[in-house]
Structure 1
Amino acid sequence: MTEEQWDKKLKIHTTGRLDSHADQYRYPYEPTPYVVLERLAESGYLKKENILIDYGCGKGRVGLFLHHTIGCETIGLEYDASIFQQAEENKSSAARSRGVTFYHADAAEFPVLKADCFYFFNPFSVEILKSVMGRIMESYYENPRKLRLFFYYPNDAYLVYLMTMYALHFVEEIDCRDLFPGKDDRERILIFELN
């Protein structure tokens, strides 16, 4: 299905890029392509019993799609108030949204709660990522459990930082290069675990 067909099926509006409040620390809204989300959903790494936090959820595509296709609970965090409002509107109109929650929040300050999966599509700078990873590590030590982190289209700064985290273990990559022209090496989802 095309981007527009998926949006129509889910009864949401998530296409288009928004740069309204982007700066050197928080990056523009650009939705993860549905073909990438389909590949993630088919990978078997997410199950109905998982709880996923989508950092920089934008208009809510990732959470609404994964809840619709897998049935997992999803939590979306969005810093930009106007984009967060669009996520809330999408939740209200969505075909299925009972297990989806959005928060207008600063990712660096948000408690991880009971989540066990985390999704990142380069939503913010590595400086903010370090704070977020600190929160994830705190949650892990307070309540030890298997935690799985998904990094789509990772930038170099993220990769350098992630490879220095001793407790984080690289599991696999979901190759998405064949989904787009040009064979861009960043078209992949890197999967890490804490356990």
Structure 2
Amino acid sequence: MNEHEYDHLLGIETTGTQDWSFHLAQYHPYEATPYQALDALFHKYEWTNKDRLVDYGCGKGRLLFYLHHRFGLSGTGIEVNKKRCDEAETNLLRYREKNGGNPVDIQFKCCPAEAYKVDSRDHRFYFFNPFAVHIFKKVVGQILTSLKQHPRSVDLILYYPSSDYLAFLDTHTPFDILQEIRVADWYEQNENERFVIYRL
């Protein structure tokens, strides 16, 4: 299926990119993770319906709807842009209608990433280069603080990983690389078309 066909299956609209304003330069423009890449990830990375994910820079919410549809996962999307938050909420209403109006354990928070208080139930965290590395460092610091307060195993899932993100995780955190998943059809053209998963 192409991007539009996958959206239609889920009853949502998540295609397109986002124009970005100057005052939000430390946050990067919205671009949804391609469905083809998500299929590659979840072919090799295991989930259960007990997992709870936080998607930083969730945009219109594609990842959360995909995960709920495939695995029944719950999660929270964090998005700083009000327009994108509104579009995500509209998609949530459409997704519920597509699922017969049944409750869906997906929520969206319209706030800067560093303002989100990590929930003790959160243990998988997704990043598609949503913001500058200094914000990423703050977010990872909050995840580590949550782990001290509520010990548990957590994964950080990075798509198209920034070298700054990787360097920080490798040299300044206790996270270790668990898995690297290449997006097969694209990898020969661009070695960044991959997921790198860290675990603690």
TM-score range, shorter chain: over 0.9
CA contact (8 A) 1:54 1:75 kept: yes
CA contact (8 A) 1:77 1:107 kept: yes
Of the candidates 147, 164, 178, which is equivalent to residue 171 of structure 1?
178
More helix by share: 2
Deviation at 1:182, TM superposition (A): 5.0
CA contact (8 A) 2:187 2:194 kept: no
Residue aligning to 2:113: 107
Deviation at 1:45, TM superposition (A): 2.7
Structure 2 stretches lacking a partner, 5+ long: none
Distance 2:134 2:170 in 1: 15
Structure 1 stretches lacking a partner, 5+ long: none
- TM-align CA RMSD: 1.5
Deviation at 1:121, TM superposition (A): 0.2
Q: Which moved more, 1:25-34 or 1:94-103?
A: 94-103
Q: Which moved more, 1:118-127 or 1:15-24?
A: 15-24
Taking only the aligned residue pairs, the percentage that are identical comes to 35
Query: How does the TM-score come out when normalised to structure 1?
Result: 0.94
Deviation at 1:86, TM superposition (A): 0.3
Moved over 4 A (4+): none
Superposed counterparts of 1:1-195, under 5 Å = 1-21=1-21, 23-94=24-95, 95-96=98-99, 98-113=104-119, 114-176=121-183, 178-180=184-186, 183-194=189-200
Deviations 1:62-113 (A, max 9, x none): 1111111111111100000011100000011013470211110111111110
Query: How does the TM-score come out when normalised to structure 2?
Result: 0.92
Aligned length: 193
